[in-house]
Amino acid sequence: MMGTEFNNIFLYNLKFIQMKETLAGFWDNLVFLVLLTPTVVLWLMHFYVSSRSVASKLIWVGFASLLLVGIEYIRNLFGDLQYVHWRIGWSILYWIFVIVLTIGLQKYFRFIVYKEKNLL
């Protein structure tokens, strides 16, 4: 959902980034939104929850952020995305924000699951 919001706000509304209007660009965008972003976030959640130490949790957060930014960088490198008023550093900030938000939601979700389980 955050990938779609990223596209809607930064690509279509603010036009900070331009997407190449070709079929290849469309498929590239679709695979990124529907497949890659959810997969990376699910991966992160899996490894984050199963990690014991804070250091390893931070490593996973860093790795997932780098992976998402890396995919975006490759899309830019191949010309499917063109930065107009955008820098890769802002993408790093954005994806870290998304990941921290997802971790927060996951913690809240686990909290209410345990709370309701205890009430039963």
Partner 1 sequence: MILQLPIQFDGNERLITIVIVLEAILFFTLPKRFPTPITLLLLFFDAYLGRTVDEIIEFFPIDLYDSMDTSNYDLYDFFMYTFVYAYYGYFFAYFYDKWRLKGILQSVHIFAWSVSSTLFEAVASWFNVFRYKGWHLMYSSAAYLLIFSLRILLSGT
CA atoms within 13 A on the CB side of 50: 6
Residues 19-48 that bind partner 1 (CB under 8 A): 19, 21, 23, 26, 30, 33-34
Query: Residue count at the site for partner 1 (CB under 8 A)?
Result: 20
Nearer to partner 1, 7 or 76 (CB): 7
Nearer to partner 1, 19 or 45 (CB): 19
From the CB of 105, what's the least distance to partner 1, in Å?
9
Nearer to partner 1, 8 or 56 (CB): 8
Cα dihedral 31, 90, 16, 37 in deg (nearest 10): 10
Contacts 24+ apart (CB under 8 A), 74-80: 75/28, 75/32, 78/28, 79/20, 80/19, 80/20, 80/24, 80/25, 80/28, 80/29
Nearer to partner 1, 19 or 71 (CB): 19
The residues of the shown chain that bind partner 1, judged by CB under 8 A, are 1, 4-5, 7-9, 12-14, 19, 21, 23, 26, 30, 33-34, 109, 112-113, 116
